[in-house]
Structure 1
C-alpha cells in the first residue's frame, strides 16, 4: 500500500497546485481534460486504499482557499463544480445512470445552458437587498468582492416582490470578446502585460483592490443557479431562470430536451453558434430540470449527479502568417514556427503556432502571407491546420530550410529516416542548453518552484549555468544584484532547489533529457533497474529486455552514459548533494483486464497525453511496448494511427480507441 499512499500524496499536491494556479493566480497550466484525468486517478486510488479521506483532498473540495488580499465569506450552501464529459458516450452514460437511480419509467427532462468561460460568483441577498458577493474559493468559502461586483452588468442590487428572506444567487462573471480586445489594446499602449484570455482578464479584473479599475473593464454576468433559499423560490431550473430574469438578472438562452439524442443535436447546434457569440463558451451544461429529481439524484463530494458539462472540441479560426521562423529545442531539433496576426482562439490570443518539421511544412505548404486555419489542440497548444492560399499565383516563395543553426550557426543535419533537422552544436548552442535546463527543472523533472523559463534563459545568457549540474551550484550573491531578484525571492529559490535534491529514479532519468526517453520509458527503466548505477552499466541486451525499449532507445541510452561529459555532469550533481532514490515497485491489480498484457499506443488523443496514458497503463500492470508484433495483445489507436494500426490489423491484434482507453484508466 506504500506506493499507493505515495502516489495519492503526489496527486493531491499536483492537483492543489493546479487549483491554486487556476483559482488564485488565474493562470492555468493544463487543459480541463488533463486535470480531469489526474482527478479520476486520485478518486480511484483513494477508494482502493480504503482509508478515511481528509477534508482538504482535491476529491472533496472545489477550487482553492481564498486569497488573503480579500476577506473571506462562507457560502451558506457549498458551491460544487460540474463533472466534465468529452464524448457522446459519456453523455449516454450520464442519462443511463439517471434512469437506473430513478427508474426507467421516470419522466426526465433536461435543460441545456451554454457553459460560460468565466469566474463563478455567489451573491447573498437578505430581504431582497444585496449584502455581499464572494468568489467560489474552495467551494466552502470565497473572497469577498462585493464592492467590485456592484459594477458588473446583469446583477440587480435589490430584488422585488416575493423572494425568500435569505437567498444566494450563483452565476458566472465574464468579459465579452469586445471588452477583452479593448482591454488588451489599452494594456499594450501602456506597455503592460497582455491578458491571455477573457477568463483570466475577468478574474483579474474582479479581484482588483481598487473597485474603480473593475468598473472600467466592463464585466458582465449570467445567473444560472441558486443556493440558500432555493427550495422556496422555484421547483425547476427553467422556473428558476424565468424568476431570476424577472428580477433583472441576465440569463442565457436555454432549451428543454427530452433525451440524449436531443442533447447531441443541441450540442452540435451551439458548437456552430459558438464563434458568432460575443462571449466565450467552452461547452454545454445539461441539467435535470426538476428540482425534486435533482434532490433524489444527489451529489458526490465535488459535483452534482444531475448535471454535467459537455466540453467543445478545439475551435478553428482564420488568420494570416506574417513570418516563418526556426526554433531550436533541447535535443537540437530545429522546428519551423508560424508567426501570425494575433487572433482569439478558444478564449486565448494566439500569435505563434508550431509547424512541427520540414515535412509537415512542405505537406501543408504554409508560406509567409498565407491565410491559414489554426486551432488549439486540446484547447491548449496552437497548431496550423491548413493554408487557404494554396493555388493563389501571388503567393510568396516556399520557406528555405536552414543549413546553419539560427542561434549558434553550427551545421544542421538530418539523419536517415528522420523528419527532424538538428543543430550539431550540442550544449555549445545556448538555445539547446536553455531548453535542456527548462526541461530539467520542469514539473515532471526536478519540479523546482520559482525556476521558470525567463530565469533559465537569463542564467545561461549571463554564464551562471553551463551544464544542468550548475542548477545546484548557483551563485546567489551574483543573483542578488539582478533586477527583480530580491532577498525573499532568492531565499525561496534556494530553499526550493535544496528541497528537490532527493528525487526518485524515474523523475531523474526523465529530467536528464536523454533522446527518445519520455516519462513512460523512464518509468519502465526505473522499475526494471531500480538504481541509477545499475542502469548506467546496463548492456544493450539488458536494455532490450524492457518492453518499452527498442534498439534506437537502447543506443541512445548507452551513448548518453558512455559520453565522458555526461558522466562528469552526473558526478557534479552527486557532489552538490543530489541523491537518487531507488524506485519502489508498483502494486499491480491482477484482476484488471490489462494486467500482464502487452499494449502499444499510437496516434493522437483528445483527452489525455500519450505519455501520461503510458504511465497510467504501466501502473495498471500493462507492458507498454513501442512496436506492434505477434506478441502484442492490444493496440490503442488514436487519430492518425498510421502504420502501427495497419500492422495490427494484418496480425489480427485487438484494436481499441480512446473511449476504451479512458474506460480502462477509470
Structure 2
C-alpha cells in the first residue's frame, strides 16, 4: 500500500471511530488505540504535506486562529419560532394551519427544543464546507474552524447524499462537561461559567480553535434545507441525515394527531431532567414538506412549526427594593432588586416588574416574599407574592411620577401600558440608549465602539447624538479612561467604515419607534430613500406591506421633529447611506409591475423559488397569502384547497406555470 492509500485508509477508519463514539455512543476501540492511530496519521501527513486535507481527522484538534469572524449572509434565512405555553395554543396553531391547507390530514414531527447555540452547516459533495452562526437570522459569523473541532459533526458524509445542502442544529454543552469545566476553574480560583447555553455560545467565538477543541461541545442536528432534497417529509429527512452520519436525536417522534403530540409533551415534561443536556420545550413541525411550503412564513417565523415551552422553573425570594430604568424610547421599566437566588442554572438578583399595572395587579411591596420565574424571557419575572409571609407594616408601592434621571414629569398615553419620560432630547439614558442602538451589530455595526464607551463619550461631552460620532477625532478619545492608542484608532476606523452600511440598516439604526429590522427593510425597499419616507403621507405609508397606522404615525412624528431632520442632514453630509443602492440588479423587465402573485403547489418546469424570483425580476410582487389585492395565483399540482377556494371566491385569475411563462414572454 502506497503512502496516499495508507493516509486515506487511516482517515476513513478514524472518521468511522469518531462516528461510533460521538454519534452512536458505541466505541469499538479504546481511547489509547484511537490516539495511536491518530498519531500515526499525523506523522504521515507531516512527512507528506502534499497530501494535506483540511477535512482530515487530524484537523479536529484545532490550531487555526481567527482574529475576526467573517460575516456571511445565509442563503436561506434562519427564522425564529413562535412560542406556545398551553395545549390551547397548539390547537389554535393547528386550526390556522388547516385553514390555509383546507382541512387535509396532518402528521407532525415532535422534537426536543435544545438550549444551545444555533448553527447552519453547509455541505458540498459530502464535505463540510462552512459553518455559520444564526446571527440575526439574515447573516451570521463564519465559525467553520471551531465547528470542525466538534467530533459529533461529520467532516465527510457517508452514503448517497445531495451535492449541496444545509443542515441546522444546536451546539450544546452537556451537563457533565459543563460541571467538569467549572470544577477545573474553581480549583484554580477562577470564576465558574454561569450556564451551559452561554458557555456553548461563547465557545464558538473563541479565536483559537485549539481552545474550542478542549471543550466537550456536542452538536444535535434537526433540519435539512436545500433544493430537490431526496425525501418528501421532515421525518424521512431526519432518518436520511442519520444515514449520512449526522447526530440526529433519537427522541424525535412522528405524531399522527395532536393527541399524540400532547403525549410526547407530557412524557418529556416529566423526563427532561433525565437528559444529559438542557432542554426547555418541544418543537412541533408539520411533517409533509409540501404542506410546509404551502404554509410558508410570517415576517419572523415559519407557519409550519411552533415551540411549546415547558412550564418555567419557579423559586421564591425577598424583594429588597424597586428601581426604575429609562429606555432609549423614554419607556420606564420598573426592576425588582432581589435577595440573590439560584434559578434555572443562574443566580438571579433582578427581575422585571413590567409596568405600573403589573405592580398594582400583584400588589407587590418591598419586603415581600415573591415567586420568580424564568420562562420564555431572558430576564426573570415576578409572577406572584406569598401573602402569608407579608409583614403587617408593609407599605403599598406607589409608582414614581417623575423620571429618575432627568426628573421630567412622566406621561402615560391612553392605551399604553408604560409610563414615558417626554424629555426625549435632554434625558441622558435616552440619548445614550439611542446612540447605543445606532452602533449595534444589526444596525451600523461600529467595530471598536461598545455601550460602555458610548456612555463614556456622552459623559465627557463628546457626543449628544449619533451624528456627533462622525466628528470624533482620535486625539479626543485616546485620553479617555481605558482607551489605549490602538483602541482609539479602531473606534475611529469603525465609525468611518459604518458609512458603507446599507440604507435599510441605517433606517433601523435611527431608532424610530416601532421600526424594527423587518419594517425598516420593507420601508427601504418600497421608498428607496430617506427623503421619500420623510415626505410620505399616513395614507401612503399604510399601503406598504405590514405597515399599520401605529407604525406609520410614529414614522411621520419622527420626521416632523426638526432636530431629527437636522441630524439626518448631518448624516447625509458625512456620507452615511440614505438611499437604497441596488445591488447587482437581476431585473429583466417591468412587465409585471404593480401585479401581486401568490405561488401555490408543486411545479415541473420551475421550483417555487425560481418562480418567485422570476416574478420579482419582472417587476411583480410575491404575496404570502391570497387577498383582494392579489392579481394572479400561479398554481401547480396539489395546490392547497383552501387557497383554491379563496381565489375562486375573490375572482382571482388562476394560471399555470406555462401561462406564467407566456405572461413574461409576452406570448
Query: Which residue is equivalent to 2:161?
Result: none
Aligned residue for 1:421, secondary structure, equals coil
Structural mapping, 1:53-452, within 5 Å: 68-69=64-65, 174=173, 176=175, 183=182, 195-201=193-199, 264-274=262-272, 280-282=278-280, 313=309, 315-319=311-315, 320=317, 321-342=319-340, 350-368=348-366, 369-377=368-376, 380-384=377-381, 386-390=383-387, 393-394=390-391, 396-452=394-450
Change (3 A) 1:214 1:558: closer
Distance 1:224 1:552 in 2: 40
SS of the residue 2:406 aligns to:
coil
Q: When the two structures are superposed, what TM-score results if normalisation uses the length of structure 2?
A: 0.50
1:257 CA drift (Å) = 9.0
* Structure 1 pair 181–577 and aligned structure 2 pair: CA distance change class (3 A): same
Unaligned runs of 5+ in 2: 1-59, 67-77, 85-89, 95-108, 119-127, 133-141, 152-169, 223-237, 243-248, 285-304, 583-589, 601-619, 631-648, 651-667
- Bigger shift: 271-280 or 569-578? 271-280
Q: How far does the alpha carbon of each residue in 1:162-195 deviate from its partner, in whole angstroms, 9 at most, with x for none?
A: xxxxxxxxx9984538965994997799685x63
Deviations 1:214-263 (CA, angstroms, capped at 9, x unpaired): 99x9x7999999xxxxxxxxxxx99xx9xxxxxxxxxx997999977667
**Do the aligned partners of 1:376 and 1:383 also contact (CA within 8 Å) in 2?**
yes
CA contact (8 A) 1:65 1:137 kept: no
User: Considering only aligned residues, what root-mean-square deviation do their CA atoms show, in Å?
Assistant: 6.0
Tell me, in whole angstroms, the C-alpha distance in 1 between the residues paired with 2:261 and 2:65.
42
Deviation at 1:281, TM superposition (A): 3.0
Number of positions where the alignment pairs a residue of Structure 1 with one of Structure 2? 439
- Corresponding residue for residue 462 of structure 1: 460
Q: 1:481 aligns with which of 479, 482, 486?
A: 479
In the alignment, is the contact (CA less than 8 A) between 2:174 and 2:276 conserved in 1?
A: no
Aligned counterpart for 2:567 among listed residues 555, 569, 576? 569
Counterpart-to-counterpart distance in 1, 2:80 and 2:516: 28
SS of 1:403's partner is coil
2:588 matched to 1:592? no
> How far apart are residue 371 of structure 1 and its match?
2.2
Alignment of 1:493-532 (within 5 A): 493-532=491-530
In 1, are the aligned partners of 2:405 and 2:427 still within 8 Å (CA)?
yes
Cα separation, partners in 2 of 1:212 and 1:513, compared to 1, 3 Å: closer
Change (3 A) 1:322 1:66: farther
- Cα distance in structure 2, aligned partners of 1:280 and 1:341: 26
SS at match of 1:592: strand
CA contact (8 A) 1:66 1:137 kept: no
Aligned partner of residue 379 in structure 2, secondary structure = strand
Distance 1:543 1:398, change over 3 A: same
Contact 1:84 1:311 in 2 (8 A): no
Residues 351 and 382 of structure 2 are in contact (CA less than 8 Å); yes or no, is this contact kept in structure 1?
A: no
C-alpha displacement at 1:317, in angstroms? 1.9
Q: Distance in 2 between matches of 1:190 and 1:376?
A: 32
Match of 2:558 in 1: 560
Comparing 361-370 with 205-214, which one deviates more in the overlay? 205-214
Per the alignment, do residues 359 and 561 of structure 1 end up closer, same or farther by CA in structure 2, a change over 3 Å counting? same
Under a length normalisation based on structure 1, what TM-score does the superposition of the two structures give? 0.50
Give the C-alpha shift of residue 469 in structure 1.
0.4
Runs of at least 5 residues in structure 1 that lack an aligned partner in the other structure:
1-63, 71-81, 93-109, 121-133, 150-170, 226-236, 242-251, 287-308, 595-617, 626-630, 634-652, 655-666
Provide the secondary structure at the position in 1 that maps to 2:578: strand
What's 1:621 paired with?
623
Q: What's the offset of the Cα at 1:563?
A: 2.9
Secondary structure, aligned partner of 2:444: coil
Contact 1:115/1:283, CA 8 A, preserved across alignment: yes
